[in-house]
Structure 1
């Protein structure tokens, strides 16, 4: 059991990351790539990636076994979704941290020569790590980032909704089936026994696309506290997010129309089908129909949270609205209801 011990200050400092963390997605997707078998939803991605993975990228897989410890320095907390900023932080890891993390990784095994050099902080080894991580990201994660971000945004909207409806403790209690909240302790079902005293540092909760089974955290409890949790996946949505559309032009043409544009604009903040209908004074059936067209065009993503379906903009949908300056056709002002679910960077969960 993993237990986080909260103070009142910690509860006030719980926050949810604004989106997926590229360094964590690199690490966790590498875990998936290293698995001989795993979740079936990742099987097409794994086969596609491994079939064409550059030899340089495979060096990263040596650092990311599918079970057990992976070096903490691979996932620095940068507060940004920029891969290059995260990579710079990794390559700036102090030598004592490199030595400690690599020693934990290879404990009981003979380390690869490259790992010994990396543990010593040698410049060639660090350059090799940079090449390995960038090459891996460009082949295994970057091409799918839009779909990853869209799926995470939908789940994040559900977490934010839980916070709005019931406060921080309710959001913690409903975070994941393996999580139990009994004030002042957040427990996560894991094989290892471990306690983390937050001691006023708060907790950053990060939704993750490639995280599997149960939430995870860093091994070193002295590092800034984080909790990664696996988002809920819809199998069809997963496959759709990892496909390149060839019929986008035809489907985007179907978006023309006053009401559909208003639906898209209403989803600047996540919403359920019923909330779309209420905000725009249209029927739930009409809201569902418009959401389906928008989803098929790749402009929104949808996910199920218990008995409701939550919709949120994808990066493409956001770009479309931003390109229009947000001035898309709308329904009459009186018919547009105020947004009920703020989904902004750094929201508490």
Structure 2
């Protein structure tokens, strides 16, 4: 597996590949584990993830020491960490990791060792030692429970919104037009899908089609499996919801809160800074700050200051009001 860079990835389609291309129906917890690990150690931090990152504590990261060498934030990481079965849920994915053939473990761990020196405990893993493999499974589960489970509804909501957007375009306009919705991250240059990438790569689908997997933690560039014998997968950043495409109860809240304040509340489905809130709600920064203050005094929004930036998120009451769910 590769991560961010400056070269180009080309995915070559045939007519048959277009008919077999689809969007994953659920977020993949193993991909989100790997990519969130990258974000925890990313020096060029995305402000949209600051609120999530700020909630992490050293005690939450008991699995970090084991997983870090296997998931470096730059360069290659093993394909066996993100099996296709992960789309069936965490336990299905972990079961697939535990069932990785020894030949695959050996080959992929050797590739990883070429990139960086690995700790001694990885040697038993590389030869398929059962205890080492099961330790890896436990570490994946602990990391998910501590770091991802608390925010999984938010992750799932973002991925679902992206999936609806892409599949709607595919149903109405066809796969080629759906592929154009990924610009500028992906560029559809028929019959090739092009993306900036860490290294020059060409993937020929050869009639297998492409599975596109939206990801909450994927940033800047998409990620593809290195092993071309595996089913072709491309993980890409799930799009931020556009305020004009927002759905839900915000129109019902407008008579109560006012149109602008309802838009501000809806924009806060994702924690964000005042500047990002202004962009999402389509208002000035000063107006976004003022509306967030009113909503905060009403108990609907929580705000915290980090250096020179204010971060806003919905409170439990605000989430219930926005979703239309009664608070018990």
1:135-190 deviation line (CA, Å, top 9, x unaligned): 11111111110011111212222212322332100111221413111221111122
Q: Residue 99 of structure 1 is aligned with which of 68, 86, 106?
A: 106
Distance 1:183 1:126, change over 3 A: same
Indicate the SS of the match to 2:83: coil
Q: Residue 44 of structure 1 is aligned with which of 44, 47, 51?
A: 51
What aligned pairs does 1:316-331 form with structure 2 within 5 A after superposition? none
CA contact (8 A) 2:254 2:262 kept: no
Indicate the SS of the match to 2:84: coil
Separation in structure 2 between the aligned mates of residue 78 and residue 91 of structure 1, nearest angstrom: 12
Count of residues in Structure 1 that have an aligned counterpart in Structure 2: 275
**Aligned position for 1:187:** 194
TM-score, length basis structure 1: 0.68
Indicate the SS of the match to 1:206: strand
Q: Residue 219 of structure 2 is aligned with which of 209, 212, 218?
A: 212
Separation in structure 2 between the aligned mates of residue 288 and residue 105 of structure 1, nearest angstrom: 54
TM-score, length basis structure 2: 0.72
Indicate the SS of the match to 1:177: coil
Matched, 1:201 2:208: yes
**Aligned position for 2:176:** 169
**Aligned position for 2:233:** 226
Stretches of 4+ moved more than 6 A in 1? 282-295, 306-309
Q: CA RMSD in A?
A: 3.8
CA contact (8 A) 1:152 1:208 kept: yes
1:265-303 deviation line (CA, Å, top 9, x unaligned): xxxxxx946x889xxxx99967997998799599x88xx
Q: Residue 64 of structure 1 is aligned with which of 71, 78, 91?
A: 71
Separation in structure 2 between the aligned mates of residue 291 and residue 148 of structure 1, nearest angstrom: 26
Separation in structure 2 between the aligned mates of residue 286 and residue 23 of structure 1, nearest angstrom: 43
Separation in structure 2 between the aligned mates of residue 184 and residue 297 of structure 1, nearest angstrom: 38
Q: Which runs of 5+ in 1 are unaligned?
A: 238-270, 310-315, 322-349
What aligned pairs does 1:279-298 form with structure 2 within 5 A after superposition? none
Q: Residue 113 of structure 1 is aligned with which of 120, 129, 135?
A: 120
**Aligned position for 2:10:** 3
Separation in structure 2 between the aligned mates of residue 79 and residue 27 of structure 1, nearest angstrom: 12
**Aligned position for 2:307:** none
CA contact (8 A) 1:57 1:131 kept: no
Separation in structure 1 between the aligned mates of residue 253 and residue 53 of structure 2, nearest angstrom: 38
Separation in structure 2 between the aligned mates of residue 55 and residue 159 of structure 1, nearest angstrom: 37
**Aligned position for 1:85:** 92
Matched, 1:73 2:80: yes
CA contact (8 A) 2:159 2:216 kept: yes
Distance 1:47 1:103, change over 3 A: farther
CA contact (8 A) 2:83 2:96 kept: yes
Separation in structure 1 between the aligned mates of residue 68 and residue 125 of structure 2, nearest angstrom: 15
Q: Residue 28 of structure 1 is aligned with which of 35, 59, 65?
A: 35
Distance 1:159 1:126, change over 3 A: same
Q: What's the CA shift for 1:24?
A: 0.5
Q: What's the CA shift for 1:48?
A: 2.9
Q: Residue 16 of structure 1 is aligned with which of 16, 20, 23?
A: 23
1:31-51 deviation line (CA, Å, top 9, x unaligned): 111224421222332343243
Separation in structure 2 between the aligned mates of residue 291 and residue 150 of structure 1, nearest angstrom: 23
